[in-house]
Amino acid sequence: MKRKVPPNPPPGSPTAALDWLEALPDAALVVNKRGAMMAVNTQAEALFGYGRAELIGQPVDMLVPERFRAGHAQRRSGFFAAPRPRPMGAELELYARRKDGAEFPADIALSPVAATGTIVLAVVRDITGRKQAQTALAERARSAAFSAEVGLALSRDLTLAEGLHDCAVAMVRHLDAAFGRIWLLDSTGSVLVLQASAGTHTGLDGGHSREPLDGDANIARIARERKSHLTNTPLDDPGIVDRDWIKQEGIVAFAGHPLIVEGNLVGVMAM
């Protein structure tokens, strides 16, 4: 037996003039001063994953992640105190919540419905694609700036130690790293020796200053396997020995890459 889906409010209601809601290309919600949804379009059903019967009459806050609901109520009250067409939270990154709990970044445009002044039209757009493009562009810019600074460091008339130090500094400056370190193989080819360190720890001594190539640490494994290693859970990574330091510094990720020149391993960089 199919459940009957209630239509948007009938002619004569405060929202009767909004029959064009379905013609809008984005999700649209009509919300009253109390925050209850009075009408929605098909695009809103598709975007949020709810049927119309699940939305009409319910608080619009159900479409807002819980951690933002208090602030959302305040902004809604502020809008009704001085209603005018405007983006919601122009200075904020806004997120909406689907029925399955998934969140997405959103652009939300608000406009008062002139017939009564007590209801608002909210148009919601999922901007995940835009955010991803912005992130990718920013990452490319950081990578280009890092490559340029490393190229400059290696082309200047510097000692090896000075050049490597400038490269480690560039890692911290451009790659959003808490620290940047570079190890080179010693003359025996059996030990990685720390040559440069920048960021939260600049010393070249300590427990990580010499890493045997046959050791268990990530640095040694990266060198042996000649493969990059990345983890977003460093406290659970068996190759990271100094967990107390990880906790103390608030490190949330680790990345290491082998340094290979003309097919020969020369060292490892990590951040």
pLDDT (mean) for 49-55: 96
Distance between first and last Cα of the chain: 60
**pLDDT tens digits along 147-182:** 888 888 778 888 888 888 998 888 888 888 888 899
Residue 246 has pLDDT above 60, yes or no: yes
Over 80: is that where the pLDDT of 132 sits?
A: yes
Percent of the chain with pLDDT over 90: 36
| Predicted TM-score (pTM) above 0.75 | no
DSSP assignment of 7-33: PSPPTTSTTGGGGGGGG-SSEEEEEET
Site of tokens 């460091």: 153
CA distance 223 to 185: 9
Model pLDDT, residue 117: 64
Which whole number is the average pLDDT over 113-123? 78
Q: Where are the beta strands (DSSP E) in 51-131?
A: 86-87, 94-97, 103-112, 119-126
